[in-house]
Amino acid sequence: MPGKLRLGRFNMSWAGIIIALLFALAPIESFWLEHWVDALVQQGHAFTLGVLYAYWLEKSESIIAPIIAHNASDGITVLLWTICF
């Protein structure tokens, strides 16, 4: 997809932003299952991580970096849920 998003030193393709949006919309059912504020925070969190993963994919030119990051963030989330609840 042509075009780049540039914010200061941050530079990535618009395709990464669109994929991050789709990544954030994956858990859309949370709006029907949780309080809307909690669901909105979850969507924002997923979008932010999606942008980060897409950025790492573009910069590393390898799928390995986003896979490791995704697994690490899931592991940290499970660990925090286990400790806190």
CB proximity list for 58: less than 8 A, separation 6 or greater: 12, 13, 16
Provide the number of structural domains found in the chain.
Answer: 1
- Work out the pLDDT band at 78, boundaries 50, 70, 90: very high
* Full domain range(s) for residue 24: 4-84
CB contact at 8 A, 12 and 29: no
Question: pLDDT tier at 51 (50, 70, 90 boundaries)?
Answer: very high
In tens, the pLDDT along 21-49 reads 998 888 888 888 888 898 888 899 899 99
> Quick one: which of 67, 21, 66 has its CA closest to 44?
21
Give the per-residue pLDDT at 42: 87
Q: Are the CB atoms for 5 and 12 separated by under 8 Å?
A: yes
Question: Mean pLDDT, the chain, as a whole number?
Answer: 88
